[in-house]
Structure 1
């Protein structure tokens, strides 16, 4: 069957059965994204006023967090130069004020939990229980209609209500998203593909603030869940990670006791100590999702520096290096499923076997293409709008390599006792936005897989 045929078949399978998935618990990060579409002339003028030499030194290596305007502008250039996403915490109040004065084009739901809640609950109709650190009216109003719930204490009992019924008045958290298209030029830099840089200007998610409802009533909340997705660990530091990790570990033990499969959505984590702690925590997860930058960062803390370099050396990313890294990660942690996504193709390495693994990532790729094409997907039926987006021809060499190395057939191969699944993605030439596409991919693939498991 052709890839278009496999895409169409996978979509129908998931659409037919996704409504049968039970509640999905989502923790821990939600915020508001202030999206700014970069303009070359404006950015260049800001760089010149700030000082080109001072800015350029941060375009080569990202700082751990942002304490100055040169670091902010240099970090944006780092993303532009590579066409890769990055997110850093903005520690400095003057820089936060600078970003607010710079402004934005629109406000959207942000944070991995917020984006996944709107997709799973608001688009697919899958009931979700979301941890929302701050429930201002502005934040609550960005949630879609649908079976999206947050825990609320009412007379000493936990009730699940839609965020708009919570009635909180806390501070709203802003993440400043600086988006650029493919071919975006500034100074001598040209973006090889569309992407964004994120300046996180909030003090909830950066310390992994966990609400009292989740701290005190997690057993009861977890009793409603059939699946769980954990995210938002990326902004923690060596100084502040210990306490939230104790709570996460305790939450995972509850979920593990209830046999709830838990997916970790990894994100670029600058702090090496936190990366090591995440690696130590991975045995408690069923699944993990990451891209080449994130996989390389994990290989680094595992002492696999040469392999980490290979993961970042080629475009498209070398699938043999990816597969080798996934094997090392699986063997070290015992995680049952690793979902790798990069520009142009996805891979899934699983302890278990079946076409449903490949079909779930096909569905995820179609959902991601629909989001890129439409900007927002109103319902699952609109996901099919991406069927006319062509399959990426540039990764034919990737498929040929996988066929040669592992005997892959129709996107599946048996390798070292695991199943390796591959798909070429559909690439939207001029996406309306790139924000949330990774979260769309990972949550659609994980939940979609459980929808169609035999």
Structure 2
């Protein structure tokens, strides 16, 4: 199918999304504001802190060190911030260029609504007015609530709750080729990307509220697919005495309830979890209940590290060879019993599934084509506001490493046992000067999962 055919299929499809919505406050970095940050803290202090590699941001120097690491490697990253007192420091030191909806649910909900899906139901346990009003004003976008002991779908922009706190993530966008001085070193940013300071509010719980939970089986019957995300927001301990284990159990029960009356496909969009124990729990407890998972190559390495493959994890981190990513993806697919794994990187997108999958390799490639076209449209325009915007992404050429990617993939297939699997790869359509890189991974995963379902529906196997 071409992108216009997918869009026609989408108009008859409904998707449910949960759990994370926030406000993205975006700063576009340049040589001047990067150098000012380095000079403020001092290159020596930053490098010393970088050696410690802080896993969360407890003070401004932690932020400076992890940001510089992202700039030197050119790799996107997100680091949690639990200390809400730092909000004032960020707000006083940076002028935000853009404020818009964020969180995987927020980004994907607006995208799918603008692609004219039949119905998009988006849920967040917290929905402040500032967040609600950042959703697109579309009649196909709903929020699930309970009124008079019955499930009600209401327009999401009107469904906000007075008094709900607003989660603000600060996103620092950087461009390939930007240069700055770090002591005796002149750093040139190798790739465009973003660094996210991910706020962790005490009030936020990754869960379905008790009043809505009994209606999850009904919601599961109403939709063709479910995308769940935000597990990176779970904390080990909460002020009320609850722990990560409590919320992991609730998350598992949510999936079981959604699937109770209909074997609806569930996609989990994985995001970086700094705490190793929590990461392992999400992989071991949540993944086996899902049908599909989306992640990037760094997240594959993080997962392999906690499920017993540290050497392969290190190889992916240090060398990023396609054959190692394929091997790691196969391990995750098998150990968590997924139906399909989707991997997105700067230069390629990949599906790994079993040979029994009802879709052909050609159909799987077409699904990935739709995904990279969507992402190229978003990168070019900053947002996808209508199906016609996909024309822009379709004109973006594949990246300059495309032929090399195909060659290395064929070499990997010869070196690794792939019998029993369908593994397909396509180069990404890479925008040289993107308007924004925020949400590109979410866009790819949402496009891939939705088009995968569209193919299954069209073939009559779902």
The normalised TM-score by structure 1 is 0.91
Match of 1:290 in 2: 295
Whether 2:437 is the aligned partner of 1:446: answer no
Unaligned ranges ≥5, structure 2: 238-242
CA contact (8 A) 1:134 1:204 kept: no
Q: Offset at 1:65?
A: 1.2
What are the Cα deviations for residues 303-353 of structure 1, in whole angstroms up to 9, with x where unaligned? 211211221223xx3111111011111121110100011011011011214
CA contact (8 A) 2:19 2:123 kept: yes
Q: Offset at 1:269?
A: 0.8
Q: In 1, Cα distance between the equivalents of 2:26 and 2:36?
A: 20
Match of 1:131 in 2: 123
Q: In 2, Cα distance between the equivalents of 1:261 and 1:209?
A: 19
Question: More deviation in 86-95 or 369-378?
Answer: 86-95
Unaligned ranges ≥5, structure 1: 1-8
Match of 2:248 in 1: 245
Q: In 1, Cα distance between the equivalents of 2:45 and 2:33?
A: 18
What are the Cα deviations for residues 412-449 of structure 1, in whole angstroms up to 9, with x where unaligned? x9922111111111110000000011100001100111
Question: More deviation in 170-179 or 432-441?
Answer: 170-179
Q: Offset at 1:237?
A: 3.5
Match of 1:228 in 2: 226
Match of 1:157 in 2: 150
Match of 2:176 in 1: 182
Q: Offset at 1:124?
A: 3.6
Q: Offset at 1:126?
A: 4.2
CA contact (8 A) 1:344 1:425 kept: yes
Q: In 2, Cα distance between the equivalents of 1:145 and 1:11?
A: 24
Equivalent residues, number: 439
CA contact (8 A) 1:345 1:425 kept: yes
Question: More deviation in 317-326 or 205-214?
Answer: 205-214
Shift of the 288–41 alpha-carbon distance from structure 1 to 2, 3 Å rule, reads same
Q: Which runs of 4+ in 1 moved over 6 A?
A: none
Q: Offset at 1:208?
A: 2.1
Match of 1:3 in 2: none
Match of 1:74 in 2: 65
Of 35, 40, 43, the residue aligned with 1:44 is: 35
Q: In 2, Cα distance between the equivalents of 1:109 and 1:204?
A: 20
Equivalence map 1:335-346=2 (5 Å): 335-346=338-349
Whether 2:285 is the aligned partner of 1:278: answer no
Q: Offset at 1:407?
A: 6.8
3-state SS of paired residue (2:173): strand
Q: In 2, Cα distance between the equivalents of 1:166 and 1:334?
A: 37
CA contact (8 A) 2:59 2:86 kept: yes
Whether 2:396 is the aligned partner of 1:402: answer no
What are the Cα deviations for residues 372-423 of structure 1, in whole angstroms up to 9, with x where unaligned? 0011111112112122211123132221122244379xxxx99221111111
Q: In 1, Cα distance between the equivalents of 2:443 and 2:124?
A: 18
Equivalence map 1:337-416=2 (5 Å): 337-351=340-354, 352=357, 353-354=359-360, 355-406=362-413, 415-416=418-419
Q: Offset at 1:15?
A: 2.4
Q: In 1, Cα distance between the equivalents of 2:131 and 2:31?
A: 31
Q: In 2, Cα distance between the equivalents of 1:56 and 1:103?
A: 25
Q: In 1, Cα distance between the equivalents of 2:412 and 2:90?
A: 48
Question: More deviation in 393-402 or 344-353?
Answer: 393-402
Match of 1:34 in 2: 25
Match of 1:53 in 2: 44
Q: Offset at 1:100?
A: 1.4
CA contact (8 A) 1:266 1:289 kept: yes
Q: Offset at 1:216?
A: 4.6
Q: In 1, Cα distance between the equivalents of 2:325 and 2:203?
A: 30
The normalised TM-score by structure 2 is 0.90
3-state SS of paired residue (1:57): helix
Question: More deviation in 258-267 or 93-102?
Answer: 93-102
Of 258, 274, 278, the residue aligned with 1:255 is: 258
Whether 2:97 is the aligned partner of 1:105: answer yes
Match of 1:141 in 2: 133
Match of 2:240 in 1: none
Of 169, 194, 197, the residue aligned with 1:196 is: 194
Match of 1:267 in 2: 271
CA contact (8 A) 2:267 2:293 kept: yes
Shift of the 335–439 alpha-carbon distance from structure 1 to 2, 3 Å rule, reads same
3-state SS of paired residue (2:267): strand
Q: In 1, Cα distance between the equivalents of 2:213 and 2:202?
A: 15
Q: In 1, Cα distance between the equivalents of 2:340 and 2:48?
A: 38
Whether 2:17 is the aligned partner of 1:19: answer no
Match of 1:4 in 2: none
Match of 1:327 in 2: 330
Match of 1:171 in 2: 165
Match of 1:5 in 2: none
Q: In 1, Cα distance between the equivalents of 2:149 and 2:8?
A: 39
